[in-house]
Amino acid sequence: MKKAIFIIFAVLLIDQLLKIYIKTNFFLGESIHIFGFDWARIYFVENNGMAWGAEFGGRKGKLFLTLFRLVAIVGIAYWLVTSIKEKASKLLIVAISLIFAGALGNIIDSVFYGLIFDTPGGRNVATLFSENPYGTLFHGKVVDMFYFPFIQNAQFPSWIPFVGGETFTFFNAIFNFADFAISCGVGVLLVFNKRVFPKES
C-alpha cells in the first residue's frame, strides 16, 4: 500500500507542477528545444478531448468524456485496492498505480483547470487562480508539452496503398507526464505479463 501511495503521489506532484509551470510560463503554441536537439522539444498545447486531440460532441461531448474518465478511474481504484488486498504481484501493483496516477492527473485538468486558469491570447501566458477563468467545472483542457519528432518530413514509399508518396513525422504525438505514467503502466503489464498475471497451478 505504501509503495502504491508513493507512486501515485509522486506522479501527481510531478505532473501538476509541470503543467502549472508550462501554463504560467509558456504562451499557447510556444516551442523550445531540449538541450538544443531538434527532435526533443517542449511544445505547449492544450487538448480538449481524447488522445491526439480528438474531439466529439462539443461541450456535451467534453462533459461526457470527463464523466467517463471519472467512472473509469473508480474502476481502476477498485482494481488497485483489490490487488493490494489479495497480495498480488508487486509489478501489477506498480503498473496499476502508474495507470491510476496518470489518469487522475489528466482528470484534474479536465475537471478543474477551466475554473482556475484564464486563456489570454497572443504571446501572453495564463494566470493561475484568474478572476476570468476560461471554462467551467468538468470543461477544462488537458495540458500537453512533450514532443519528440524523431523522424521529420520522411516520405512513405510510393508502393504503399493510400499514403504512398506522402510525408510523415514519427513520433508526432504531444503528451504530458501523466500520459507517460499511463504508458509505462501499460508497458509493464504487456512486457511482464506472465509475472504480473501468473497462472495458477
Q: Check if 118 is active-site.
A: no
Residues facing 142 on adjacent strands: 47
Which three cell numbers mark 24? 504560467
Q: What does each C-alpha distance from 159 to 154, 156, 163, 166, 170 come to in angstroms?
A: 15, 8, 9, 11, 19
Q: Which residues are catalytic?
A: 144, 179
